[in-house]
Chains A and B, each alone.
Chain A
């Protein structure tokens, strides 16, 4: 029986290979994306723990005293608290920005030294520099480094290279999508250096380790410090929120794509196993007649499913681990985003349960297929399998039917007679189109997003960040006048307890423009505030409604009419200076947008960020995007070829006698080939017609799930539809041509000898 197993698998190699490939791809994608998100979760958690990533940050622009810190640390539920400072400084004689960070307690919001000397709190001349920034800029341990901040020069020597949990995702602000270590990094210094430069200890944050929830922690802090404080939980911090976002995205990808592949794999298995056992019905009868028990025959046929399942699972695990490794390694796509020390791969425990369940299900498929053929006596089994009876179609009652060619009628009836095979073919084509539309549409959408926001909405060359603590309204006016720029004042407020940003714009040069939800540019009205799409949706606010918000650390609240909704990368409320003045909301300009590229050194200017540096950071993002597009397109083509070839061979096998009869009657090989291809083409027309809207739907779901924070709008160009359609038809034609070529090998004499 083992020999029979191998020979049968050899005979139906196309079907077996396609089942194994589909299961391997399905399991590979499932394992790969699940390994990705679980690895992010596990490795970042371990990294955060090792670096003492803070659970809460208490913020104050005027700084905290040691008493404040002690009061926070003494709170019930707080295990440690440290004063902490992070300011963006410029590297001297360079446009690079480094976040200079000081923690009073290296166990809280600290770092891991990857090379060089250990941290020394008493070292007043040492820097511990981001190893990624050092690598990107050719800096080594022992090199000197001079930073400038508000006209101050801070000089020191690089003692060690590090990684820090607080900078797991190292972004200067929310407008930048990907880290760019050539232009932005972070550096830690000891408190003694800070005191040497400033002449005093000045910290704007108290970072705390605590298992409390945010509300309880906030209440206790407010009570301990005697005022309402702005508290950020780790969910409000880019590094944690984005890492968890990536993990969620992995979960979504691990849920959507594998369902498609595994669904097709299992359906292919159901169809193929049924066909296989049906075509072996007389052999099953022979085995019964020879005296083999039903149980033995069942075990034999179930072993096909088991072999396919286990081989596919083994290959899938290998593929999944490779995909997981590819995504999650320091040099891979995630490595450009996350900066952590350990990249060990982990799979969530449920993966093993799902793999066992898939194999169990495949066994049931095998069991179900053979059971149907084992019914009745040995004589019953010896009778060949009779496919479903042909029934007349409704279309046959119309005149159109008489006008159809023989080939169309033949294909139409065959498609309806073998519904499972036709359905699977359609499913494969729809899947292929969905993946292509999804992949190319994702690229279109990202291109349109970047074009809209960074080519059209943003017209400035430099973003000049001011020191809000020392810049007066007159200073801001003078600087914006000098650089002919637009002004921005950023602050944070609470809306229904949620933390959101407020952006007050003084627009005088048209360097910053706003886009409504239909992607049209709009002029901000002074009559009300504009909400980004996320805030509008989260709070159920529409134009004409009233928004109430209150700044942190203040009992005051402000109300304003909602004038409209804008698409924004930052989760914020947008208004003009005139509107802010009208509702009495105080603001301090901290950014000037200008078309100038030469910005003079000024004590009021903290740093300057160029538009080019933001655009450069997209290069990596777009490279990853291009890679995803290629991967998905390849997956689509593989899916299409594997599924269609398997079903094409099945179609060919089932119609072998019919084709032999046509050949005997006098049909040429090419003519019969065209009949087979035309069936594929009709299915392709139908599949593309369903696949395009389905692809748009899937893409919209993916955008909502994966990129809600960018407020991207779906944007698909004609090229996407054209390429998706042409590629799908190309795959269909290629497979049709491969299968049609087989009919040359039909042995008419042998084929027609077999009894019906």
Chain B
């Protein structure tokens, strides 16, 4: 079942007199419940793809339909509501609120997400039940990323969007984080879209989308993805 559909999507940025085409005529369909990895070198347009999908940005041309809803023409408030209800974000730099504890960081999505899941359950699921009262600065990078995953999933979104989720982590911690991410997504039946330039991560994906120079070069279904434990980088 298709959950995401990009139709002839372009994104052009204007910097002074100069136009920069980040995406050009992208057509892409992603299936529900899959682990999708978008691969590409720096500047290929993969983050732009993710930002459009996440409602952080709007296309210059074309439409983006998520779960039957065209999000490319939504206004600011509608986009905010879309982000609150439909997508969860996991960033390379975690982006936790430093003045809120672990529990409060996850709890805050309850203020906006209509179908939020239980905070304690989410934190227990990512193995941080004992760290709920700590502040982000008191946690390791891997732990902070796990809080970020718990926060993203606590909204109970349709899609989990991850931008270089292991980019700031060492191999071992990154592997642990990916495992949590996959386990959680599969437990709660979520579609995961991971953007990375790390080829190794593509080996655990159900679908690999290769992007270069603002266009989708290939969409490859992986017949038998490797378990996370077997992947190294």
Contacts and interface: CB of A to CB of B under 8 A. Distances in A.
A and B co-occur in one complex = yes
Given A409-B104, A658-B98, A665 B151 contact: yes
B83 interface: yes
Interface stretch (B65-73, B85-93, B223-231): B85-93
A756 interface: yes
B219 to A, nearest CB: 24
A394 interface: no
Interface string B193-212: 00000000000000000000
A667 B112 CA distance: 7
A406 B56 contact: no
B85 A666 contact: yes
Contact of A417 (B82, B91, B93, B99): B99
Interface stretch (A250-258, A331-339, A744-752): A744-752
A747 to B, nearest CB: 9
B137 interface: yes
B99 A413 contact: yes
Contacts of B84: 665-667
Nearest to B80: A668
B113 interface: yes
A666 B83 contact: yes
A410 interface: yes
Contact of A406 (B57, B89, B96, B107): B107
Nearest to B87: A666
Contacts of A756: 93-95
Nearest to A658: B97
Contacts of B107: 406
A749 B56 contact: yes
A561 interface: no
A668 B111 contact: no
Nearest to A668: B80
A132 interface: no
B95 A661 contact: yes
B132 interface: no
Contact of A666 (B91, B94, B97, B112): B112
Contacts of A387: 98
Interface in B38-84: 47, 51, 54, 56-57, 76-77, 80-84
A406 B83 contact: no
Nearest to B137: A389
A474 interface: no
Given A409-B100, A657-B95, A744 B76 contact: yes
Interface residues of A, number: 33
A410 B98 CA distance: 9
A222 interface: no
Given A390-B137, A666-B80, A410 B95 contact: no
Nearest to A412: B99
A755 interface: yes
B23 interface: no
Contacts of B155: 665-666
Contacts of A406: 100, 104, 107-108, 111
Nearest to A407: B111
A752 B112 CA distance: 20
Interface string A380-420: 00000001011010000000000001100110011001000
B56 A748 contact: yes
Given A406-B107, A755-B93, A664 B83 contact: yes
A234 interface: no
Contacts of B83: 663-666
Given A410-B97, A666-B83, A749-B56, A390 B135 contact: yes
Contact of B56 (A414, A657, A662, A664): A664
Contacts of B168: 755
Contacts of B104: 406, 409
Nearest to A672: B80
A43 interface: no
Contacts of A663: 80, 83
B109 interface: yes
Contacts of A669: 76-77, 80
Contacts of B108: 406, 662, 665
B85 A661 contact: no
Interface in B114-142: 133, 135, 137
Interface in A646-691: 657-658, 660-671
A405 B113 CA distance: 15
A666 B89 CA distance: 10
Given A665-B84, A667-B80, A414 B99 contact: yes
21 contacts: A390-B137, A410-B100, A413-B100, A417-B99, A661-B95, A661-B96, A662-B97, A662-B108, A664-B89, A665-B84, A665-B112, A666-B80, A666-B81, A666-B84, A666-B113, A667-B112, A671-B112, A744-B76, A748-B56, A749-B57, A756-B93
Ranked 5 nearest A-B pairs via Cβ: A666-B84, A413-B99, A666-B83, A661-B95, A668-B80
Interface of A: 387, 389-390, 392, 405-406, 409-410, 413-414, 417, 657-658, 660-671, 744, 748-749, 752-756
Interface of B: 47, 51, 54, 56-57, 76-77, 80-85, 89, 91, 93-100, 104, 107-109, 111-113, 133, 135, 137, 151, 155, 168
Given A664-B56, A666-B81, 12 more contacts: A387-B98, A406-B107, A409-B100, A410-B97, A414-B99, A657-B95, A664-B89, A666-B85, A667-B80, A668-B76, A668-B77, A756-B93
